[in-house]
Structure 1
Amino acid sequence: MDVATLPPEVQEYIYSIEEKADKAVRAWENRYASLEEQYKLLLLQKFGRKSEKELLEERQQFLFDSEESTPPEQDTKDSTTVIKAYQRKKPGRKPIDESIPREEVIIDIPEEEKQCACGHTLTRIGEETSEKLHVIPPKMWVERIVRPKYGCKACEGSGDEENPAVRIADVRPAIIPKSIATPSLLSFIIVNKFIDHLPYYRQEKRFERIGIHISRQNMSNWQQAAFEKIEPLIERLKEHIHSGPVINMGETPVQVMGESEKKNTSKSYMWLARGGPPKKPAVLYSYRETRGSRHITDILNRFSGYLQTDGYEAYKTALAGNADIIHVGCMAHARRKFHEAAKASKKAGSAQEAINKIKKLYAIEGTLHGKELSPEQFVAERKALVEPVLEQFKEWLEKRSLQVPPSLLLGKAIRYTLNEWPKLVRYLDSPYLTPDNNVAERAIRPFVVGRKNWLFAGSPKGAESSCAMYSLIETAKQNSVNPNDYLIKVFELAPSARTTEDWKALLPWNIDP
């Protein structure tokens, strides 16, 4: 039947039905594509590579994609490719560190073989050397402290309290009084747990194998006692973080037992703040029962400067009306969403194109950091190079946002990036900012790795003391100080610290392990 022969009102009705049917079909197609992407992404997250580095196969897929997945745009204005200098690594085993003690063993031929067939004595003309590494299990010893007592046999004392009849030397201040734990033992246990991720029950078994009996409960109690002694140092660390121009923040879940009015299976959160003067960075872990914005306000109390985070909405809520803090976004989180879209979608061309545009920003950043520029020169040159790239990227995002359904992973990545855009470009204003929040991500990673081993914190107090230990260890690492040596020195000097200046002297950049 020819629709054109029907009355106009019937034609209009038929066309409206067809239009609705087309919209319904497109909606179901988008829904199917979205579910297919989610399914593929879940498979990749569970079984695939988690690295965001490109694979050859991922690049090759553009050979077979069509339409939306056309190869990324090429910049025809500049065909010059800058390649960083590369030094090929020498193959073979790396030499053993010269700081490790050497014991020379000479393997010589017998004396009778040092005579030549002609009758002359052989002369040493050289030598061949090789090195082998030996290991001695952890060496432990007991320090037996003897304090002689002295008394007067002629009298029972003068009654003067300053000159008693029986006299003995004072006990030296200890991080844990009346305990067998020394600074070195305590540091050894803390480093094993918070750097090597060995829970206390595993350490208990290790000690038993060498004939020492230290229960996991004792180790936990020592950790708590040490934390209570060094709390003023953690406060100085927080003050130091607030003294810098930038704070990077992040958070990750943690399971804590024994929280009031909460199930043991519920989530709590470990918050991280990294800041301080650029050449003396510090890291502070903070345990909180929730992920609420009030914790951000508490951690940033009286701070003024730049705050760089991911796109979590609680940061926006916490900073509302705060003119002293400028919120900066994270380009790595935007890139990650495009990377997920590229991995999960059949047509990954547009996602890869966005990734390539973001790569240009990092290439410029790397080039500028390789130059010797003053802070003012760095900011000016970075703006001149980066702003055109950002402008082109934003135009591309706005154009693609009209073409890609928002339910698809690519649509979500585009929408996230556009929503975060004002914060993403603020890094241009300060030489102390980078395009991303990766310094916080890297600082929180040791905690995430450790969590896979010890699984949960036994109590809120245990979570707080763990925060303190992680804070000291990661701050030492950020300042190229050996964490074990640093903790030994802190545990040695903390019992004698009294004033604020005493505690400041125990910060990693002020101490000589």
Structure 2
Amino acid sequence: MISATEAQLDELLALARAASFPQPQYDLLAGVLGTFIHVMHALQNAKTSLKRFRHMLFGKRTESTANVLKMIGTGTGGAIEPAPNDSAALPGGVGKESKKRKGHGRNGARAYSGARHVDIDLPDLKSGAPCPQCFVGKVYDSPPRIVVKVVGQAPLAATVYRQARVRCRLCDFTDTAPMPAGVSSSKYDHSCASVLALLRYGGGMPHHRLDKLQASMHVPVPDATQWDLVEKAAATGPRLAFEEMIKQAAQGDLLHNDDTPARILALMGERRAKAEAAGKAMPSTKAINTTGIVSLVGEAKVKVVLFLTGPAHAGANLARVLAHRCAQLRAPQQMCDALAANTKGDFETILSLCLAHSRRQFVEVAENFPAPCRHVIDVLAKVYQIDAYTKVEKMPDWQRLLHHRIHSRPLMLDLKKWMEKQIKERQVEPNSGLGQAMRYMLKHWWGLTQFYRKAGAALDNNVVERALKKAIVHRRNSLFYRSQRGAEVGDIFMSLIYTCESCKANPFEYLQALQKHAADVADKPHLWLPWNYGEALARH
């Protein structure tokens, strides 16, 4: 195997020209070398494309630096020596020790805050009674022993009440035993809609699948009934809270946005063609997306998560949200990737671009270009370590900005000079995967490095990509919405559920509260949001 760069092959052609090669032989040599370059580029691109396709089908491992370096070591025929530990040069020694993440042990009793708690008293002994063993001392209250018991049941449980009745055979008077206190007057309690919304829009379980599960447990709840329940519930308190969340999100200092494909059958294929033939107005665009928007609101930086599904792209949906922004507020910061659809809309923002997207381009070609890709990944790893330190120290935005200017800015400027030198000196083929990754980073350099220019600017768009996984789980399991109305119901519940999760609220209890107190939500919706509804609920 012989390795050669495109510059070396050009030099070979120049020498052949200087040696006065006959023109036919020179043209043949130029053609052979050109074909070789074309084939090598195609092979590299094919490897990258196949890798992406494999990831689409089977998923991919985390893109952590450790995994990427391991992939490089196994993919090049020889392991690469680990980089020297530069953690001592980083502020606070970030990265010196890898601490085990929380959440890998058993769940303690405190984790079961949603469980029913039962106090069991001693049948014979009371505090202050004589000790039954030594007969001398006395026993006093001690911390109780905690035992957790978990039982299984159908997602929707039913109770059949048999009410005793009496009837007078002479005058036909009847009397029926009253229902127990607290039993809902309707067949389906508010909790049914809450559970159905959590299963469908929080976990992706289709109504038809739950229909079969319930039937197998002899507690039938048809899929049509399930839809009626969630549609009816969405039209009350949940819709009002969702609309208020849009207004609150518009006031945020930093908004993340991104798209993922979605399916609405009424806007696709034969249904769309029939509607157009019938003269019904249809959206001009055929692309259907679910837009995720995560807004950090207030000094507490509460995460408000919105999902908007339809024929509009992320930029148009962000414009829809920012239309509710107070005119006296300055332009917010926006974090997204460099796709034009994310910024296309009638709004003004301070744009930052996702550093993780740029890094991913180097990760995808790391097996073909291990050494230069490793250099880029190592530099970005240091930047992320510096940012992690600011979070550990809970720095305010202005202090975090100063910290990045001192520690991250020199690293990034050195990286920029290095990439420009690589391209200028033709050490990297401009059309190769590595060259394209470098050109992407240099082209969008200003947006990718806003984190050391603007206070509060994010490094990446990972927060909204994590949020969009909920929409992806729904798409992979429930596959589609039938109509735009169905998509709106899904957006309402998905937004409420994920916002609850982001602020550590119980989504089931929250959906219950919105339905039971719909009139109060309509009167003062700003008091019934996932992060503050507990105070309003305590007053009732």
Is the Cα–Cα contact under 8 Å of residues 70 and 350 in structure 1 kept in the other structure?
no
Is the Cα–Cα contact under 8 Å of residues 37 and 408 in structure 1 kept in the other structure?
no
Residue 189 (structure 1) aligned to one of 186, 193, 196: 196
Residues 263 and 9 of structure 1: is their aligned pair in 2 closer, same or farther, counting only changes over 3 Å? farther
1:255 matched residue in structure 2: 263
TM-score by length of structure 2 reads 0.72
Deviation per CA, 1:154-186: give whole Å up to 9, x if none. Answer: xxxxxxxxxxxxxxxxxxxxxxx9963332221
Q: Kindly, what percent of the aligned residue pairs are identical?
A: 20
Q: Distance in 1 between matches of 2:498 and 2:55?
A: 31
Per-residue deviation, 1:503: 1.5
Q: Distance in 1 between matches of 2:149 and 2:98?
A: 34
Residues 187 and 33 of structure 1: is their aligned pair in 2 closer, same or farther, counting only changes over 3 Å? closer
Residue 31 (structure 1) aligned to one of 21, 28, 42: 42
1:455 matched residue in structure 2: 479
Q: Distance in 1 between matches of 2:161 and 2:34?
A: 82
Q: Distance in 1 between matches of 2:59 and 2:103?
A: 32
Q: Tell me, what secondary structure is at the counterpart of 1:435? A: coil
1:234 matched residue in structure 2: 242
Deviation per CA, 1:453-488: give whole Å up to 9, x if none. Answer: 111112111011100111111111111110000000
Q: Tell me, what secondary structure is at the counterpart of 1:509? A: coil
User: Residues 368-407 of structure 1: matches in 2 within 5 Å?
Assistant: 368-401=390-423, 402-407=426-431
Q: Distance in 1 between matches of 2:333 and 2:287?
A: 29
Residue 99 (structure 2) aligned to one of 80, 86, 111: 86
Residue 377 (structure 2) aligned to one of 329, 352, 355: 355
Q: Distance in 2 between matches of 1:228 and 1:445?
A: 25
Q: Distance in 2 between matches of 1:464 and 1:456?
A: 12
- Does residue 180 of the first structure (1) align with residue 187 of the second (2)? yes
Is the Cα–Cα contact under 8 Å of residues 379 and 428 in structure 1 kept in the other structure?
yes
Residues 90 and 361 of structure 1: is their aligned pair in 2 closer, same or farther, counting only changes over 3 Å? closer
Deviation per CA, 1:50-79: give whole Å up to 9, x if none. Answer: 32133374253388459xx99869869959
Residue 133 (structure 1) aligned to one of 146, 149, 154: 149
1:273 matched residue in structure 2: 293
Q: Tell me, what secondary structure is at the counterpart of 1:457? A: coil
Q: Distance in 1 between matches of 2:81 and 2:39?
A: 24
Residue 220 (structure 1) aligned to one of 227, 235, 247: 227
Is the Cα–Cα contact under 8 Å of residues 211 and 222 in structure 2 kept in the other structure?
yes
Gaps (5+ residues) in structure 2? 1-14, 123-133, 138-144, 164-183, 274-285, 326-330
2:350 matched residue in structure 1: 326
Residues 46 and 393 of structure 1: is their aligned pair in 2 closer, same or farther, counting only changes over 3 Å? same
2:458 matched residue in structure 1: 434
Q: Tell me, what secondary structure is at the counterpart of 1:258? A: helix
Is the Cα–Cα contact under 8 Å of residues 424 and 435 in structure 1 kept in the other structure?
yes
Residues 178 and 309 of structure 1: is their aligned pair in 2 closer, same or farther, counting only changes over 3 Å? farther
Q: Distance in 1 between matches of 2:514 and 2:240?
A: 12
Residues 227 and 73 of structure 1: is their aligned pair in 2 closer, same or farther, counting only changes over 3 Å? same
Q: Distance in 2 between matches of 1:412 and 1:498?
A: 53
Q: Distance in 1 between matches of 2:257 and 2:82?
A: 36
Per-residue deviation, 1:198: 1.8
Residues 24 and 373 of structure 1: is their aligned pair in 2 closer, same or farther, counting only changes over 3 Å? same
Q: Distance in 2 between matches of 1:454 and 1:82?
A: 42
Is the Cα–Cα contact under 8 Å of residues 272 and 285 in structure 1 kept in the other structure?
yes
Q: Distance in 1 between matches of 2:40 and 2:153?
A: 64
Residue 474 (structure 1) aligned to one of 498, 502, 509: 498
Residues 352 and 142 of structure 1: is their aligned pair in 2 closer, same or farther, counting only changes over 3 Å? farther
- Does residue 22 of the first structure (1) align with residue 33 of the second (2)? yes
- Does residue 314 of the first structure (1) align with residue 313 of the second (2)? no
Is the Cα–Cα contact under 8 Å of residues 281 and 479 in structure 1 kept in the other structure?
yes
Matched to 1:86, the amino acid is: K
Is the Cα–Cα contact under 8 Å of residues 34 and 407 in structure 1 kept in the other structure?
no
- With 294-303 and 439-448 compared, the bigger mean Cα shift is at 294-303
TM-score by length of structure 1 reads 0.76
Residues 7 and 281 of structure 1: is their aligned pair in 2 closer, same or farther, counting only changes over 3 Å? closer
1:162 matched residue in structure 2: none
Per-residue deviation, 1:298: 2.9
Matched to 2:41, the amino acid is: N
Residues 395 and 302 of structure 1: is their aligned pair in 2 closer, same or farther, counting only changes over 3 Å? farther
Per-residue deviation, 1:269: 0.8
Per-residue deviation, 1:242: 0.8
Q: Distance in 1 between matches of 2:214 and 2:406?
A: 60
Q: Distance in 2 between matches of 1:503 and 1:392?
A: 51
Deviation per CA, 1:357-394: give whole Å up to 9, x if none. Answer: 11111100011111243332221122111100110121
Q: Distance in 2 between matches of 1:332 and 1:440?
A: 12
Is the Cα–Cα contact under 8 Å of residues 352 and 447 in structure 2 kept in the other structure?
yes
Residues paired across the two proteins, number: 459
Residues 229 and 40 of structure 1: is their aligned pair in 2 closer, same or farther, counting only changes over 3 Å? closer
Q: What CA RMSD, in Å, does the superposition of the two structures yield over aligned residues? A: 4.3
Q: Distance in 2 between matches of 1:274 and 1:143?
A: 46
Deviation per CA, 1:302-346: give whole Å up to 9, x if none. Answer: 553111111211234436xx5x3111100111122222212xx34
